Amino acid sequence: MASYDSVRRIWSGSRQPCIFNPECNFGQIVLNLLDRSSDKVIQIDADTGREMTRAEMRLRVVRAAQHLQKLGYGVGDIASVVAVNSENLAPLVLALQVIGVGFNALAPTFDAEEMAHMMRQTQSKLVFCDADNYDTVKVAASKALQGDYRIYVMEGAREATLAVDQLFQPTGTERMFYPRYLGDSYKLIANITCSSGTTGLPKGVCNSHAQTISCFCKVVNLSDEICLNFSTLYWGTGVYVLNMSVMNNTTRLITRRPFSVDLFYELIAKYPIKFLYTPASYALGITSDPRAKQSNLSSIKVWALGASNVSESIRDAVDELLKPSGGRSYNFYGTSESGFLAADFMRRKANAVGQVATNMQVRIVDEDGQPLQVGEIGELVIKSIGIPFLGYYKNEEASREALDKEGWFRTGDIGYFDEEGYLYLVDRKKDILKYMGNQVSPSEVEAVIQQMAGVQLVCVTGVPNTTGTSDLVTAVIVKDSSYQLTAEEVMQHVAKNLSDPKHLRGGVFFVEQLPMTSNGKVVRRKVRDIILDKLS
């Protein structure tokens, strides 16, 4: 249960010492756990039907670790991973961590300049990609990387390229391999996550071995569960579900294909998926499809929702589908820097994210950094008990600016707590619009518009007025073609339900689709650019 210190004005999750020792390196724990339940299937490849046991996973991890060590890679080196979820991706990234090589996963759909932006920061010695993005990766690497580097192709490598299969060839000494201690786990980089790129180019968030281990402070044996998450390792949720398969004994279902509603119904018809993670936009597509009420979804017990604000209507639709078989939706909130921060495990509460997660602390502060009380809206600042923020990779200035004078991390998210310790998110600090001196939350306006029949997706942004002194609130909508929704109806609905500064003075625009990240999150800055182009 979460608690509140009214004197220091701190909301805290329950305190739970980690079952696994965060002093160890993550690779030591991984190889130890894979030795247990060796015949248990840890991974199912939905595209090929191939299954991998924990014993086979361990063998591949050891072989890759041995080959990479022989090539001279180890602590201090970074690998760029620009690949979809193929069969050997999990053993590869686990092997990297066993030998102390941190990995920076990039979206496989990035263009060359987006890849190069992160590669310039990491100066990776190793690059892993897919056959279909090899040419783009090669261009990015040539632009960004200054020293020697190797590029490996995960599957379908051409003759002139390095095939990752080379790293999984027998060594003859697998049984003698023992992972050595690599140094302070609180400072050793396990992976570098890209900070959210929805408002600008990303920074590299350093996640330590200790932080990775502490995510699993409780041991939950989920041995009969199949978990599905469409995210690539570019997303923190993709890394978390991979690690969960090792730490909590789950079976991870993978596919190289990007999410589609058809793909979801193909997989749920074939596999008894119990844990499902999707962003809200995916959930909307699944629940609004006619197959939702015809398909057997009874295996799903936990449908985790995250990556963006989740409307009550989407949660209602999910819960209606899952209720007959005892499942329900769960709201998850976290940041690239902190990981998992809050969820509504105990019970769902309208519009709330949930309560503070185990071993996490949160304050709400005003613009001067002063802590606020229950019900007062301000910026969330956070701490992880016992696990320091490792900072942004080779960016000391950004690392310093991210923390206040007491070491609290500034999330940039705006929200408040109620009397029961439930957290409510209002918006991103950078996304707040200002009209005639009044602050306008795009999420609040979006929630009102989302209530209207015929609205599939909506993004609210701001366009400058003629003097550039105010943001004119503007709605961009993807509508259901079966409804005759007009801009005037939307403007009247907002005017009826919200105060004057929140009215749609910038207008209403209907589009076929909204620009999204590969994980289904609307890229607000690109929506704004689209409207500005239309207006110009």
CB of 490 closer than 8 Å to CB of 504: yes
pLDDT digits 0-9 by tens, 277-331: 998 888 988 999 999 999 999 999 999 998 666 888 889 999 999 999 999 999 9
Query: How far is residue 160's CA from residue 456's CA, in Å, rounded to a whole number?
Result: 47
**Over 80: is that where the pLDDT of 467 sits?**
no
Residue 265, Cβ density class (10 Å: 0-12 exposed, 13-18 middle, ≥19 buried): middle
| pLDDT band with cut points at 50, 70 and 90 for residue 199 | very low
Nearest alpha carbon to residue 190 among 27, 326, 4, 53: 27
- Return the structure tokens found at 141: 């690497």
Contacts of 304 (CB under 8 A, 6+ apart): 275, 276, 277, 278, 329, 330, 332
Q: What is the pTM of this model?
A: 0.84
CB of 111 closer than 8 Å to CB of 74: no
The SS3 assignment for 495 reads helix
What per-residue confidence (pLDDT) applies to 197? 45
Residues pairing with 281 in the sheet: none
CB of 137 closer than 8 Å to CB of 149: no
**Dihedral sign for Cα atoms in the order 90, 92, 97, 98:** positive
Question: Domains plus CATH for the chain?
Answer: 3-16+259-428 (3.40.50.12780), 26-38+51-215 (3.40.50.12780), 434-535 (3.30.300.30)
Count of CB atoms within 10 A of residue 469's CB?
A: 11
Share the mean pLDDT of the chain.
Answer: 91
What per-residue confidence (pLDDT) applies to 390? 92
| pLDDT band with cut points at 50, 70 and 90 for residue 91 | very high
User: What number is the average pLDDT over the span 138-143?
Assistant: 97
The SS3 assignment for 421 reads coil
Strands 273-279 and 409-417: unpaired
Percent of the chain with pLDDT over 90: 71
pLDDT digits 0-9 by tens, 341-378: 899 988 999 999 999 999 999 999 998 899 999 999 99
Query: Any idea which of 185-189, 202-206, 339-343, 431-435 has the lowest mean pLDDT?
Result: 431-435
What per-residue confidence (pLDDT) applies to 440? 85
Query: How far is residue 53's CA from residue 58's CA, in Å, rounded to a whole number?
Result: 9
Rg of the chain over all Cα atoms, to the nearest angstrom: 23
Q: Which residue has the tokens 């500034």?
A: 410
Nearest alpha carbon to residue 493 among 512, 470, 475, 471: 475
For the chain, the farthest-separated pair of C-alpha atoms sits apart, in whole angstroms, at 74
What per-residue confidence (pLDDT) applies to 195? 83
What per-residue confidence (pLDDT) applies to 222? 61
User: What number is the average pLDDT over the span 203-226?
Assistant: 82
Query: How far is residue 1's CA from residue 368's CA, in Å, rounded to a whole number?
Result: 30
Query: Any idea which of 110-114, 161-165, 288-292, 427-431 has the lowest mean pLDDT?
Result: 427-431
CB of 166 closer than 8 Å to CB of 67: yes
User: What number is the average pLDDT over the span 86-104?
Assistant: 98
What per-residue confidence (pLDDT) applies to 436? 74
pLDDT digits 0-9 by tens, 30-69: 999 999 989 999 999 999 999 999 999 999 999 999 999 9
User: What number is the average pLDDT over the span 140-165?
Assistant: 94
What per-residue confidence (pLDDT) applies to 200? 54
What per-residue confidence (pLDDT) applies to 62? 98
User: What number is the average pLDDT over the span 479-483?
Assistant: 88
Residue 355, Cβ density class (10 Å: 0-12 exposed, 13-18 middle, ≥19 buried): buried
- Return the structure tokens found at 81: 């991973």
Contacts of 155 (CB under 8 A, 6+ apart): 86, 87, 88, 130, 131, 164
